[in-house]
Structure 1
Amino acid sequence: MTIDAEKEPLLSRVAGADAPQMSRRLFVLAAPVILTGCVTTAEGIGAYGGVSDGRVTLPAMDTSGVNPRFLRQTVAYSGREAAGTIVVRPSERHLYFVTGRGTAIRYGVGVGRQGALWHGRAAVGRKASWPNWTPTANMIRNDPRNARYAGGMAGGIANPLGARALYLYRGSRDTMYRLHGTNEPRSIGLAVSSGCIRLFNHDIIDLHNRARIGTPVVVLPG
């Protein structure tokens, strides 16, 4: 069964939350990222092997059918964002973690479908490993089968949020948007979500390890 992992987009309403202390500084939306197109390091198949991750074993991912441009790799980067910034370009289906020195780690992503695209500035306010997933009321109305998870679905390989989730906040308020893994790796490169940004499980683990509470996130217009 296919389950839509993300929260319903809340463009004008955000829910209050007890978020960890984080930077409240707003980051100016930069001009579109300019890339040279030169790949300096291709992580390739070696980045997607089997992983023993606490109580869960993440199996190796078959990359043979994946467009190489959606595999994690280090690329030349000439945007103006500071090192440590996450930049999402929905039109490219790419997320960049800026490393500085003219480079960034680039990941393939799945993005919000038409009508569910969100853009703006936020920061990582919370991080979770193998997070629980709870469908919203709208998700249950749209697919009554989701009612079985009204009390929450435990984290694991079958969970729609995947191996990790980074929760996007503005100040102390949860925007209800996330960067997270997926139980549907074939959705990477597509516009299918309810607004959140999804990555391969191996990639969200890598990004989770790099990002910190307060890491700035810029999502450019789709």
Structure 2
Amino acid sequence: MVKRLKRLNIFMLLLLLIFPVTVRGEGYIRPNNFMDKSGAEKVAEIKRFQALSNLMVTGGINDMTYKVLYGPNMVVKDVITNPPTSGEWIVINKTKKTLTYYNGTSPMYKFPVAIGSSATPTPSAKAKIANKHVNPAWGGMNGKYQPKAADDPNNPLGERWMGLSIPGHSGYGIHGTIKPGQIGQAVSNGCIRMFNYDIETFIFPRVKVGMPVWMGTDEELESWGVSQIVVEEAPQPVEAVQEPVEVETFQPAELLEF
């Protein structure tokens, strides 16, 4: 029941952020799931809010996050001019550190991710999902680290793995994490990490082998026809609505009575 409610909350937030409710005047607050949270849970929800808002994921209320949170004229837009398919596909934004799951040109989900560090960066590429595994073992990157069994709590892959087919590269994938506090950072060996709940509930069940996955910076994605932006639009003038005037009607017979 709790998972179903959380799943519904995330879905409703995406709808409200992409198709925001028009609210004018003082006291506007964009829908979010972090105002009533504290500690690590609050930070995680701020990261989700930033991903949903096409903001750079930091986990803190910076100036732009504050502006989107309290600005009724801030509009989240995904402009896709050249999708690889009319079906479902994924975009990893390395600048914002987000994963967006599209159906054609329409975003279905947006989540914060961790990407590769400067020493071991996530490659920019038009890739595809090569394989999927539940509760995967980890090989330790060809001897660089100690391998971890599937049920090892120290397995850095978490409970889900989606391998990527990338021209000229191998060993990369999208997976869960045992270090949720690092989501939104450039800290991995090149793979894309997600919150376990996000990948297990929303992404892994839908993904199919062969699905396109585009990975790049803001500039690279824009050159491929993918713009993920948040802009401030001028407020629309509110037209005065005249209330209907109730006119009393009389029957002809009533008019003859004195």
Query: 2:150 aligns to what?
Result: 154
Query: Which whole-Å CA distance do the structure 2 matches of 1:184 and 1:208 have between them?
Result: 19
- Contact 2:88/2:102 (8 A) holds in 1: yes
Within the alignment, does 1:208 sit opposite 2:204 as a pair?
Answer: yes
Cα distance, 1:203–1:196 mapped onto 2, change above 3 Å: same
What is the deviation of 1:134?
1.6
C-alpha distance in 1, partners of 2:176/2:204?
10
Is 1:132 aligned with 2:137?
Answer: yes
Cα distance between partner residues in 2 of 1:40 and 1:130:
36
Q: Find out whether 1:116 has 2:107 as its counterpart.
A: no
Classify the secondary structure of the residue corresponding to 1:127: strand
Q: Find the partner of 2:191 among 192, 196, 201.
A: 196
Identify unmatched segments of 5+ residues in structure 1.
1-36, 46-61, 141-145
SS of the equivalent of 2:88 reads: coil
Q: Are residues 211 and 44 of structure 1, via their aligned partners in 2, closer, same or farther at CA, if it must alter by over 3 Å?
A: farther
Aligned residues: 161
- Is 1:163 the counterpart of 2:138? The answer is no
Does 1:96 pair with 2:100?
yes
Rounded to whole Å, the distance in 2 between the matches of 1:134 and 1:102 is: 36
Could you tell me whether the CA contact under 8 Å between 1:123 and 1:168 is conserved in 2? yes
Higher-helix-fraction structure: 2
Provide the rounded CA distance (Å) in 1 between the counterparts of 2:126 and 2:207: 16
Tell me the distance in 2 between the aligned counterparts of 1:91 and 1:99: 22
8 Å Cα contact 2:98-2:112 kept in structure 1 = yes
Which sections of structure 2, spanning at least 5 residues, go unmatched? 1-15, 21-30, 35-39, 54-75, 219-258
CA contact (8 A) 2:112 2:194 kept: yes
Give the distance between the partners of 2:166 and 2:96, measured in 1 at CA.
25
- Higher share of residues assigned strand: 1
Normalising by structure 1, we get a TM-score of 0.62
**2:171 paired with 1:176:** yes
Distance 2:47 2:212 in 1: 24
Pairwise CA distance, 1:215? 0.5
| CA apart distance, 1:138 | 5.0
Structure showing greater relative contact order (alpha-carbon pairs closer than 8 Å, 6 or more residues apart): 1
> Contact 2:17/2:52 (CA < 8 Å) preserved in 1?
no
The share of aligned pairs that are identical, in percent, is 25
Structure 1 residue 119 displacement after superposition: 1.1
Contact 1:95/1:108, CA 8 A, preserved across alignment: yes
Query: d(CA) in 2 for partners of 1:123 and 1:43?
Result: 32
TM-score where L is the length of structure 2: 0.54
Q: Deviations over 1:173-205 (max 9, x none)?
A: 972100000000001000000111000001111
Q: Which has the larger radius of gyration?
A: 2
Code of the residue aligned with 1:113 in structure 2: it is: S
> Cα RMSD (Å) of the superposition?
3.1
- Tell me how far apart the structure 2 counterparts of residues 112 and 130 of structure 1 sit (CA, whole Å): 22
- 2:48 paired residue among 49, 53, 70: 70
1:185 corresponds, among 180, 190, 202, to 180
